Structure 1
């Protein structure tokens, strides 16, 4: 199974009877899955079907789905509400004898709310049912195109993430081979530290001296961190290779990478090892940013 991005776009068109329609789907990053539909009046029964189908093929991302519907030969007609008009004229005549005002004009009467009614053309139940079925089929096509686009983007992301793993492995090898980690370098630093400690007092406690030496040696050792980084790289490669909805797991792994690299930097007392650690931290951050786009 391939990796999938959470971003994508798709559009589909369809027609049934007098209806033509267009779906437009756009997905963006999100912690979970959410389908936000925008449907024209009278087409609300598509919502449950669309959400169920989208939930079957997508696990993360916010998807915005917009349906536009047009009906051919759907000409609205204008009808005068005789009862409302008669009531308005009656009131106008009653007021004419009480106040000095200009008689109401035709356009003024027609502008009164309720006098004119817009009558929509009658719908055909069979045509409407067939149109909704066709519209849902068009949604499924747009959804399939969206999934395919997200998968293509996921393939590209997988290649980028694999490159980041290569860089982390290279930097980890460089850190392991850093001169500051060699036994002779550690011994030299210990000798300097011991000399500095002895200069502070000619009666310095030998046990305390031994403890300080052990602490310095322990602080300089990043073997454990490098081993965990190697383990994280192996896990990341496995997840990238298997694919599927692994975005959350890779995001957690990115946090673990960052923790180990920070520890390496804090333990380092060698400039080359520090620079290597900072370079690795930058690559880990790039890895984390790309993982945010994965489903």
Structure 2
């Protein structure tokens, strides 16, 4: 039995994609969700056993782990992240037969120390969560993706200026980035879950296929949308003021604002081949990702590969 947590939400829906992929391969999947909504019902329709609950609730987590041999631990951006990690690890230690806990982390963790202060509160929680998992001695694999293409930076917050003015307006300065699609992260997670003994103890750092500055990103959007898109390097403070007016929670806003600042400081200029090495396939380009979501950026859709 496979367990995927956070299958009802999170940026890009990696846990949902993992659950769907495992079900398509004929595996038994239990998925935990925070709310019983249409996303939960869709998983049931596909054949998943769906549990509704809270990852900070020991009773819920213990019930979710019953009979599970392989687990993907993922949770949306939340101030409760570290508590949930501790509860999951405590419950996992009491359950015999767990072959692997695959942990969704973040690549920025690799640049952090016990006393670093430049990162977001969420990134600090991920750094601490990795240590809690390691201290628990549960057989584990840490998955550290770089920024997701599904992140609001490249979708929700980018879409308006692209639609209205044909500009990709972000405060990245001259910083470079290699964003990755959630679907590629999900493929790596599935590969690990399906053959855990080849991976236990590993840390995988996942990036897209190329590091791009803002002009390079704009060119990828232009190719996908078949129209000119130019880069606009916003002053950080101006952009942060705009972010403050978004419907995102303060915790999420602080996380995204920090990610933008770290982009500006070139902290996302990183590249690995882990996706291709584990899955045998090159990760998706920005162009491919945007082309599949043309409706978000200009109301049209294009399903070319």
Short-chain TM bin: under 0.3
If the length of structure 1 is used for normalisation, what is the TM-score?
0.17
**Higher helix proportion, which one?**
1
Greater Rg by CA: 1
Q: Which has the higher contact order (CA 8 A, sep 6+)?
A: 1
